[in-house]
Amino acid sequence: MILTESQIAEFKDLGFLKIGRIMSVSQADELRERMFSVIEGRAENKPESVTNLTGQEENVVVQIVNIWEADDLFREHIYNAQICQIAAELMDTDTVRVWHDQVQYKPPKIGGPTTWHQDHPYWPVIQPADLVSAWVALEDATVQNGCMSMVAHSHKWGPHKGGTIGTDENYLPTPDMSLVPPGTKIDVVPCEVKKGEVMFHHCLTWHGGPPNRSDRGRPAIAVHYMPGHVRYVPEGSTHLVEHNIEVKPGEILKGKHFPTVWENGHVAAH
């Protein structure tokens, strides 16, 4: 075990867990440089997608999905032994696979906000909602440059479709209160994370973040890890990476685009 019982209990209670350093500053810098080479089209291979999530020039959030398929250092990153073991311990599973990864880069001055959301409602083709994400800062992430905030305990409130959690002018959540158990206080926790540190969140935890008006960019890589029992369960809506799925509806989701990274206490062969 890497985690203590109290860390696991904290994650189960709050829906997120800050761990701390997982790589050196220079390793994070190297990943950040690889990120720029993918954004600028200099990498040898292509990721699934590179988009500006907001569609606005004055509020840019560059999202790269499956950068691990474009760059060998990011491919190594999804197999990071410590991250994989922590994911296995948080999901209480022997087998960990990658659903997909996601870079979000908020450039200096014009970086956009992250609207409040839960992850799993954006993933309508996989069940159950037992995934965890490992989010690594590739530059110090602070409130000023648009770090994430988490709503403590919100993963226990069930899944809500996108758009039900609004954002006010201070980038705080304005949820439809009928989604929240009566008497519950919305406890927003800003999560500052240093370059090379990791934090984990559950796929039903509400999270969002302010724009970046500072002089420092805010690059980060999140890997969305699934426990071995997650299945392909299409329910009418589609997903960007669904075309990569080779198993039939109802089957365990695995295959070359959804690599097994951790098995029976060890990093999987790759």
Ligand X SMILES: O=C(O)CCC(=O)C(=O)O
Residues that bind ligand X (CB under 6 A): 102, 104, 114, 119, 133, 135, 148, 207, 209, 220, 222
Identity of the residue, 117 or 254, whose beta carbon is nearer to ligand X in the bound complex: 117
Identity of the residue, 163 or 250, whose beta carbon is nearer to ligand X in the bound complex: 163
Give min distance, CB of 118 to ligand X, in A.
9
By C-alpha distance, which of 164, 167, 168, 190 is closest to 178?
Answer: 164
Identity of the residue, 166 or 250, whose beta carbon is nearer to ligand X in the bound complex: 166
**What per-residue string of b and e applies to 228-261 under the rule 16 or more CB within 10 Å gives b?**
bebbbeeeeeebebeeebeeeeeeebbeebbbbb
Identity of the residue, 202 or 254, whose beta carbon is nearer to ligand X in the bound complex: 202
On whether the CB atoms of residues 134 and 87 are closer than 8 A, the answer is yes
Identity of the residue, 133 or 167, whose beta carbon is nearer to ligand X in the bound complex: 133
On whether the CB atoms of residues 148 and 114 are closer than 8 A, the answer is yes
Give min distance, CB of 203 to ligand X, in A.
8
Give min distance, CB of 119 to ligand X, in A.
5
> Which own/partner pairs from 33-38 qualify as long-range (CB within 8 Å, at least 24 positions apart)?
34/67, 34/71, 34/73, 34/74, 35/64, 35/67, 35/103, 35/105, 35/138, 35/219, 35/221, 37/71, 38/64, 38/67, 38/70, 38/71, 38/103
Identity of the residue, 70 or 136, whose beta carbon is nearer to ligand X in the bound complex: 136
- Give the angle 69-201-113 at the CA atoms, nearest 5°: 80
Q: Which amino acid is at 12?
A: K
Q: What are residue 261's phi and psi, to 5 degrees?
A: -110, -15
Give min distance, CB of 145 to ligand X, in A.
10
Give min distance, CB of 33 to ligand X, in A.
18
What is the C-alpha to C-alpha distance for residues 104 and 107, in angstroms, rounded to an integer? 10
Which of the 8 DSSP states describes residue 182?
Answer: T
Identity of the residue, 161 or 266, whose beta carbon is nearer to ligand X in the bound complex: 161
Place of tokens 């973040």: 209
Partnered with residue 136 across adjacent β-strands are 198, 221
Give min distance, CB of 135 to ligand X, in A.
5
Give min distance, CB of 59 to ligand X, in A.
13
